[in-house]
Amino acid sequence: MGNVWDDVLPEEDRLVFERAGWGKRVGFGERPALLVVDVIYNFVGDRPEPILDSIERWRYSCGERGWEGVAQLQRLIAAARAQQLPIFYTGMDRRPDGFDQGAWNWKSHRAGEETDMKGHLGNEIVAEVAPQPQDVCFVKDKPSAFHGTHLLDYLIYLGVDTVITTGTTTSGCVRASAVDAAQYNFRSIVPQECVWDRSTLSHKVNLLDIQMKYGDVRTTDDVIAWIASLPQRPCGPRTPTGRPDSDPAVAS
């Protein structure tokens, strides 16, 4: 099976990457965390439907391809839960005046629509992949899950060596988060069926860029098989449990 970007990659570009040595695998580590980026109704709509219909009501929507990604992500989350991997969820919302979004408002003439506002269904995590009490959830204001959040602190505390980035959109928050994971010297893994974008071209080109320069784009089946090969609770006793009787201070 070829790569998802093969049909948009010119032969000369392929040769450039090959001869310059890009695209080497970083490989899987031993202590992964799963990052679920912005899998909220704003980015898939409230039901599977063609994207041009969906964006009439949900301006960020990726339409049916988003719901296809959600189905794949369900499989991956189930595998992560079975091995007790730490799972981090990001979401978004905004003040009614949009101040907290800053320059992020400048690129869309629909930036003020109510689906962005705090308390709207659009900002809720899709029920099919909803977090559980042990998971860590936070809101971010910019594309990267690392920007202005405690994500890096938590990963260091857990001794994580690999970040599996999933969600939406491939060219925006997924790319920014996967690149930042690499910049902080984590092994950066992107399961290609568990990320999606409103633009097919952007999806393919950004996966190509991640594979060539920042991390590994792998099939969801490959990532699930690797997770299943790990020991239970690979990040150890500091892995969040959501239970008040746990003692996160006890660590080996």
Asked whether residue 11 is assigned to any structural domain, the reply reads no
Domain membership of residue 128 as a residue range: 28-238
Q: What is the mean pLDDT of the chain?
A: 91
Asked whether residue 7 is assigned to any structural domain, the reply reads no
Cα–Cα distance for residue pair 195/36, rounded to 1 Å: 9
Asked whether residue 82 is assigned to any structural domain, the reply reads yes
Q: What's the length of the chain?
A: 252
Asked whether residue 132 is assigned to any structural domain, the reply reads yes
Angle between helices 64-82 and 220-229 (to 10 degrees): 10
- Whether 220 and 194 have beta carbons less than 8 Å apart is answered as yes
pLDDT of residue 96: 73
Buried b (16+ CB within 10 A) or exposed e, 188-221: bbbbbbbbbbbeeeebbbbbbbbbbebbbbbebe
Render 193-240 in DSSP notation, one character per residue: GGEE-S-HHHHHHHHHHIIIIISEEE-HHHHHHHHHHSPSSTTGGGS-
Asked whether residue 167 is assigned to any structural domain, the reply reads yes
Asked whether residue 13 is assigned to any structural domain, the reply reads no
Q: Is the peptide bond before 90 cis (omega within 30 degrees of 0)?
A: no
pLDDT at 25 over 80: yes
pLDDT of residue 113: 65
pLDDT of residue 151: 98
pLDDT of residue 121: 76
Asked whether residue 197 is assigned to any structural domain, the reply reads yes
Helix (H) or strand (E) holding 139: strand 136-139
pLDDT of residue 251: 44
Which residues lie closer than 8 Å to 221 by C-beta, 6 or more apart? none
Asked whether residue 22 is assigned to any structural domain, the reply reads no
Q: In the chain, what percentage of residues exceed pLDDT 90?
A: 81
pLDDT of residue 156: 98
Cα–Cα distance for residue pair 23/217, rounded to 1 Å: 10
Joined together, the tokens standing for residue 220 give: 């969801």
pLDDT digits (tens, 9 = 90+) for 233-247: 999 999 999 888 655
Strand partners, 32: 162
pLDDT of residue 169: 97
pLDDT digits (tens, 9 = 90+) for 103-126: 766 766 566 666 665 557 788 999
pLDDT of residue 102: 73
pLDDT at 178 over 60: yes
Tell me the residue type at 220. Answer: T
Domain count of the fold of the chain: 1
Tell me the residue type at 110. Answer: R
Mean pLDDT of 169-196: 98
pLDDT of residue 46: 93
pLDDT digits (tens, 9 = 90+) for 29-48: 999 999 999 999 999 999 99
pLDDT of residue 252: 42
pLDDT digits (tens, 9 = 90+) for 183-209: 999 999 999 999 999 999 999 999 999
Joined together, the tokens standing for residue 143 give: 């594309």
Kindly report the CATH number assigned to the domain that includes residue 115: 3.40.50.850
pLDDT of residue 199: 96
By the 10 Å C-beta count (0-12 exposed, 13-18 middle, 19+ buried), 133 is classed as: exposed
pLDDT digits (tens, 9 = 90+) for 143-162: 999 999 999 999 999 999 99
Give the pTM: 0.90
Nearest to 171 by CA among 46, 56, 43: 43
Q: Which residues are catalytic?
A: 173
